[in-house]
Amino acid sequence: MKQLIPAAVIGGGGSGVSSSAQAMTEGYALGLFVRKTAKKADAEAKRKSSVETVTFTPAQPPQDAGAAAAQWTAGIQRGVVFAESVIYARDVTNLPGNKLTPQALAEEAEKLAQKYNLDYEIFDEIAAAEEGMGGLLGVGQGSINPPRMVVIHYEGAPGKVDKWGLIGKGITFDTGGICIKPKLGMEEMISDMGGAASVLGVVRILGELRPAINAVIVIPTAENMPSDRAFKPGDVLTMMNGTTVEIVNTDAEGRLVLADGLTTAIRRGATKLIDVATLTGAVLVALGDVATGSVTNDDQLHEQVVAASKLAGERIWQLPAFPEFRRQLDCDAADMKNGGSRYGAASIAGLFIGAFTEDKPWVHLDIAGTAWLERDKVWEVKGATGVMVRTLGELFTQG
């Protein structure tokens, strides 16, 4: 089947020809997405559209047809890269927890880095202990599947000192640990590594488009499981940067692994930081599944991220970083505790991560409400969304 779409439908023309073609391509490709399943009757053919070719034609021929055609082609090519990177992130997120262990996620990252000839490091539990990654090790110690810290280096501008640090939460399954979650809906916790999948989608964009930036991509990955070895309330962990943390809630584990992730990025030269995480149920209460919550210590960097999100059509809503929220993390037994009141909990969780930025510009993106859908939307299907791949792709490839 062939399909003809007039450019006027998506506002093509003028300087927006390329961006219009990109937007149309992304929407079309992502709207055709079909989730992989383990059904016996499932087949890869179901994921292939019956549409063989799509022809885009301007409603009115532009004055410079050659230049417009080149812009259309460039926009479509860019849109294909962005859409395929989102689909990649969706597929990784949708994998069941017994298939995607921390080791398997690390191997997936390794495979992606090798595909694009990028340097990488993978820390197993022994190497993580040598580095003092107490947050990562504490969260992962209850599982038979040990944790991993993954680092991918992208050097697109070797002469520049500026380096992005992009950290994605990679909890491949979250039971809540000793503070175990209710059984209803726990199967959706396969998505607790949605932040890791999104940053891997961004790695794919970087590898394909090769923008002139430097970035270190960090994925702390673990399973949060209850067992006789699991960390428990009242324990005190020493984080990678030496900060001690009293555990008051083992289901507040994402912020612990992210703290070590930020330190890992900073020690590898990151000058500005973005973390992406399915961090709190509180952000879902506040914003539903329609917007990603953000916390920042730098308005200028946050404005850059929001501007990119508007290009991508992904909503971000800034949450307050009031000092009263930060004081919720004060502790008698250690430097900090890993939780506070449930009131303002999304901000409090973000501010825990912010305590590990070493005063670097930083934006936290809480995708707990937007990384996974319980029902289909227009161009997003039930399950993993790959949210923030396109926003961060725009941020890293503009200009």
The per-residue pLDDT for 59 is 62
Please calculate the CA angle 252-391-121 and round it to the nearest 5 degrees. Answer: 60
For the chain, the domains span 2-87, 96-397
Which of 175, 172, 209 is closest to 82 using CA atoms? 209
Strand partners, 316: 292
Task: Give the model's confidence band at 50: pLDDT under 50 very low, under 70 low, under 90 confident, else very high.
Answer: low
Place of tokens 């059904």: 39
CA distance 180 to 185: 13
Tens-place pLDDT, residues 239-259: 999 999 999 999 999 999 999
The per-residue pLDDT for 5 is 40
CA distance 356 to 362: 10
The per-residue pLDDT for 57 is 67
The per-residue pLDDT for 3 is 41
Residue 62 has pLDDT above 90, yes or no: no
pTM of structure: 0.93
Distances (CA, A) of 386 to 52, 105, 125: 25, 16, 28
* Gap between the terminal Cα atoms of the chain: 38
Task: Give the model's confidence band at 10: pLDDT under 50 very low, under 70 low, under 90 confident, else very high.
Answer: very low
Looking at residues 5-24, what average pLDDT do you find? 60
Tens-place pLDDT, residues 321-358: 999 999 999 999 999 999 999 999 999 999 999 999 99
The per-residue pLDDT for 7 is 39
Q: What is the mean pLDDT of the chain?
A: 92
Q: What is the SS3 assignment for 49?
A: coil
**Amino acid, res. 188:** E
- pLDDT more than 70, % of the chain: 91
Residue that wins the pLDDT comparison between 24 and 252? 252
Q: What is the SS3 assignment for 20?
A: helix
Task: Give the model's confidence band at 46: pLDDT under 50 very low, under 70 low, under 90 confident, else very high.
Answer: low
Residue that wins the pLDDT comparison between 289 and 42? 289
Distances (CA, A) of 107 to 102, 103, 262, 279: 9, 6, 21, 24
Collect all residues with Cβ–Cβ distance below 8 Å to 302 and sequence separation of at least 6: 294, 296, 318, 363
Task: Give the model's confidence band at 52: pLDDT under 50 very low, under 70 low, under 90 confident, else very high.
Answer: confident
Residue 15 has pLDDT above 80, yes or no: no
CATH topology (fold) of 96-397: Aminopeptidase (3.40.630)
Write out the catalytic residue numbers.
181, 255
The per-residue pLDDT for 39 is 82
Q: What is the SS3 assignment for 1?
A: coil
120 exposed, middle or buried (CB, 10 Å; 0-12, 13-18, 19+)? middle
- pLDDT more than 90, % of the chain: 80
Collect all residues with Cβ–Cβ distance below 8 Å to 174 and sequence separation of at least 6: 181, 189, 192, 223, 224, 251, 253, 254
The per-residue pLDDT for 42 is 64
Tens-place pLDDT, residues 183-205: 999 999 999 999 999 999 999 99
Looking at residues 204-220, what average pLDDT do you find? 98
Please calculate the CA angle 221-298-331 and round it to the nearest 5 degrees. Answer: 60
Q: CA 312 from chain center: how many Å?
A: 15
Neighbours of 309 (CB within 10 A): 23
The per-residue pLDDT for 49 is 63
Task: Give the model's confidence band at 34: pLDDT under 50 very low, under 70 low, under 90 confident, else very high.
Answer: confident
For residues 376 and 289, is the Cβ–Cβ distance under 8 A?
no
Question: Angle, nearest 10°, between helix axes 65-93 and 17-31?
Answer: 30
Residue 60 has pLDDT above 90, yes or no: no
